[in-house]
Each structure stands twice: as C-alpha cells, then as structure tokens.
C-alpha cells in the first residue's frame, strides 16, 4: 500500500469514527459532577460492573442534568474500544489519545479496573473509587460526597437497630418461605378429597342452573 492510499484510508476511517461517535467539548462539562470510568472490555469485573453503572447513570440523568461519566479505556486496540463503548450511554476519552490516558492513570494512581473516580463541578476529586458505592447504594450514593456517604451510613445503622425478621426476609413481592418437600400421605389426600366433595362438588350439584342451565319444567 503506497503512502497516498494509506492516508486516504486513515482519513476515511477517522471520518467514519466521527460519524458514529460525535464530539463533545470538554467545556460543556464545566460545573457538572463527572465520573471517570477506568475500564476495559477484556476485564470480567468491568463486564459485571458496566451494566450496573449504566442503570445508575440512566436513573441519575433523569434526576440530575449535571452528572456525566467519561470512559477511560484500557482496551487492547481501537476495535475493542469501539465495540465496548457502543454498550455505554456516556462519553469517552478518544482511544487514540494514549498519552492522555496514561496521564490520567498516573495522576489518579489507578492500580486496577474497574475504577470510578468522582470529580465535583470544579474538577476536584471527591471520591477516589465509587465502584463499591454504586454496587451497594446505586443512585442513592449521588453526589458521592463524604456528607452523603455519612448520611447513608447513619440510615443503614438505623435500619440495623430496627432489624426484625420481616425486615430481613420479607419483600414487596413475597412474605413467605419454603419448607422441605414431603410426599403427601394417603390420609391427607382423603381429607382433601372429602373437603372438595363436601364443599365444592355437592354445592355445584345442588345448583342445576349453574351446571345445566335453567330448568324448563
């Protein structure tokens, strides 16, 4: 491939990339709470966390227009980045800017992924890693400040002090438990049959209109 063809191919690729992934000015994020999401497609814990974060993100976006997430990719190549980013509803640092990615990794001392660093509206760090908070509290952890986390801890402690069996075991959809399976005895079947015969079948037989329609005699 000669140099001219190479550059033409590169330009076409970049134009196609921009069509699929529109650009957003960094200045548009000023004043917003921003989460830097260090992640990669090849990372199983990231694959587990990303859907949870996406659910929380959608919920927060409905409530707070001043919240945004930026994906900082540790993927092995551009194609992997693109495939992974298509699953995400937020923004991303361009994969080609590996220098910026390395700077952010070093600046925040990121040692593993997934890592979710929260910045306030002035760009100051308010939480070094909010992954566990998102898993535990979901959207209730917003805006991830120490004051909010202290409030959540106090609420959790109050729930522990008021703990009951029902608060532990009962949900909105279920208020029962299951016992060990035991075969029904013949005596029990006779009892059930007698009950059905006495209270259901006999009542139906007494009501000719229910079974056969109104009598014509």
- The pLDDT tens digits for 111-168 are 999 999 999 989 999 999 999 999 998 999 998 988 988 998 898 888 888 888 887 8
CB 30 within 8 A of CB 68: no
Q: What is the pLDDT of residues 169-192, one digit of tens each?
A: 888 778 878 877 767 677 777 777
- Quote the longest CA-to-CA distance of the chain: 103
- pLDDT at res. 13: 42
For the chain, domains (ranges, CATH) are: 32-146 (3.40.30.10)
Percent helix, strand and coil across the chain, each to the nearest 5: 55, 10, 35
Sequence-distant (≥ 6) Cβ neighbours of residue 202 within 8 angstroms: none
Q: What is the mean pLDDT of the chain?
A: 82
CA distance 47 to 40: 8
**Could you give the percent of the chain with pLDDT greater than 90?**
46
CA distance 2 to 18: 25
> Where does the pLDDT of residue 35 fall: very low under 50, low under 70, confident under 90, or very high at 90 and above?
very high
18-32, 61-75, 146-160: lowest mean pLDDT where?
Answer: 18-32
- pLDDT at res. 113: 96
């Amino acid at each position: 491939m000669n140099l001219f063809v190479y550059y033409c191919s590169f330009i076409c690729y970049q134009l196609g990339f921009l069509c699929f992934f529109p650009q957003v000015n960094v200045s548009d994020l000023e004043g917003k709470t921003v989460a830097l999401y260090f992640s990669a497609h090849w990372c199983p814990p990231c694959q587990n966390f990303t859907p949870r974060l996406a659910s929380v993100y959608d919920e927060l976006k409905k409530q707070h227009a001043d919240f945004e997430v930026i994906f900082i990719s540790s993927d092995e190549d551009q194609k992997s980045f693109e495939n992974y980013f298509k699953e995400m509803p937020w923004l991303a640092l361009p994969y080609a800017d590996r220098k910026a990615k390395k700077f952010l990794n070093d600046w925040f001392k990121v040692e593993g992924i997934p890592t979710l660093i929260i910045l306030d509206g002035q760009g100051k760090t308010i939480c070094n890693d909010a992954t566990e908070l998102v898993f535990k509290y979901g959207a209730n952890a917003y805006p991830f400040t120490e004051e909010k986390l202290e409030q959540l801890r106090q609420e959790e402690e109050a729930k522990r002090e008021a703990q009951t069996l029902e608060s532990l075991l009962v949900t909105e959809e279920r208020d029962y438990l299951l016992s060990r399976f035991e075969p029904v005895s013949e005596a029990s079947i006779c009892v059930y049959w007698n009950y059905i015969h006495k209270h259901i079948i006999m009542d139906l037989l007494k009501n000719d209109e229910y079974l056969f329609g109104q009598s014509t005699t």
